[in-house]
């Protein structure tokens, strides 16, 4: 299934099917990035990350990253022309389906990206006058 594209104001919506399901997701990109997104020869699809508990839009890009056969690439990385070595693309508002460079994407170091993660199930228990924070407990 080829992706469908819809233009609303100054942003474009890409419709993506979740593999092996009937679920359809919609991702936002800036209107100026629409031609770049359409330039992918294949189809944009998605993958689920258990670590972040969210979907990421991915596609197979021939010749991407200097590889002749190509490789799987995240839409958020594909929209940037070049990303310096050691840097990553961060979804500032934690919405991985919002791939607008003007609003939500930024190039940062791995450390800044790690610091921007959402906290996981923090449990605060009080013992006497002390507070104990147990992440993930």
pLDDT digits (tens, 9 = 90+) for 20-42: 888 899 999 999 999 999 988 88
Residue 135 has pLDDT above 70, yes or no: no
Note the pLDDT of residue 52: 82
User: What's the CA gap between 42 and 1, in Å, rounded?
Assistant: 10
Q: At residue 137, does pLDDT exceed 50?
A: no
Give percent above pLDDT 70 in the chain: 82
What pLDDT sits at residue 131?
59
* CA distance linking residue 28 with residue 96, whole number of Å: 10
Does the pTM of the predicted model rise above 0.95?
no
């Amino acid at each position: 299934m080829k992706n469908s594209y819809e233009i609303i104001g100054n942003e474009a919506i890409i419709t993506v099917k979740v593999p092996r399901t009937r679920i359809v997701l919609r991702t936002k990109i800036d209107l100026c990035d629409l031609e770049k997104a359409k330039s992918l020869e294949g189809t944009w699809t998605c993958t689920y990350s258990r670590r972040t508990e969210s979907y990421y839009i991915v596609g197979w890009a021939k010749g991407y990253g200097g590889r002749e056969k190509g490789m799987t690439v995240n839409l958020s990385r594909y929209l940037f022309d070049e990303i310096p070595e050691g840097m990553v693309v961060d979804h500032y508002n934690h919405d991985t389906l919002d791939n607008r460079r003007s609003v939500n994407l930024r190039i940062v170091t791995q450390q800044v990206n790690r610091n921007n993660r959402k906290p996981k199930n923090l449990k605060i228990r009080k013992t006497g006058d002390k507070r104990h924070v147990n992440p993930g407990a």
